Amino acid sequence: MKSKLFGASLTLFLTLFTTSLFQPEWAIAHCDGMDGPVVKAARNALETANVNFVLIWVQNKDESEIKTAFSKTLAVRKLNPEAKELADLYFFETLVRIHRAGEGAPYTGLQPAGRDLGPAIPAADSALENGNVQPLVKLLTDTVQTGIRERFEHVRAKKKFSKNDVSSGREYVKGYVEFVHYVERLYDAAKHTAAGHYSEPHRSGHTD
């Protein structure tokens, strides 16, 4: 009887945890930064008067709006330095907003350069810039190994609990769920192509 109750509790806990796990949440992305790839593309486009640098960051349906904003920006930025600064900022905001909307991501304004994006994003950009993926692979491999081992040891230490100690049993269940879902998320991330921004609902479109 106790084992059946424990099994039912475990099933309920797993169901509730899984439901909460896949609620939409928005992670830091660097496409909205002043030093991000979208604004960098915008700067190149404006300096060379070539809109194609930025069209790759938006969907086909948004090309017309971007081209219109681009033409207006080129015209206004010729007036004087102050006008140039304001026009450029207008174009940056328009481009980033439309890029993010195409991925279903909210636009919360341009973010300052130099933000702490963690180690993964800079490592990924660096790998693409210098053509060497090994440092990125090592960073991810080391992080994954550490994460798996720490959670494994944690749940393993709580596995031997008395069947009459419900509190300890719940601690084991908590550790078990965290360990299993951590492994599941890693496997899914490695197996499937990411769409949109990390931790955001899967959507078709460009990624950054």
pLDDT in tens, 137-146: 999 999 999 9
What value does the mean pLDDT of the chain take? 82
Residue boundaries of the structural domains of the chain: 2-23+119-191, 37-102
User: 57 with 206: CB under 8 angstroms?
Assistant: yes
pLDDT at 4: 43
The model carries a pTM of: 0.65
Predicted confidence pLDDT, tens digits, the chain (208 residues) = 444 433 433 333 333 333 333 333 334 467 899 999 999 999 999 999 999 999 999 999 999 999 999 999 999 999 999 999 999 999 999 999 999 999 888 898 999 888 888 898 899 889 989 999 999 999 999 999 999 999 999 999 999 999 899 999 999 999 999 999 999 999 988 887 665 554 443 333 344 4
> Burial code of 177-188, b = ≥16 C-beta within 10 A, e = fewer?
bebeebeeeeee
Task: Name residue, tokens 């300890």.
Answer: 168
Tokens 């328009």 belong to residue:
94
105: left (phi over 0), alpha (psi -120 to 50) or beta: beta
Q: Please give the pLDDT value at position 198.
A: 41
Q: At how many degrees (to 10) do helices 37-48 and 63-76 cross? A: 60
The answer to whether 141 and 120 have CB atoms below 8 angstroms apart is no
Please give the single-letter amino acid code of residue 171. Answer: E
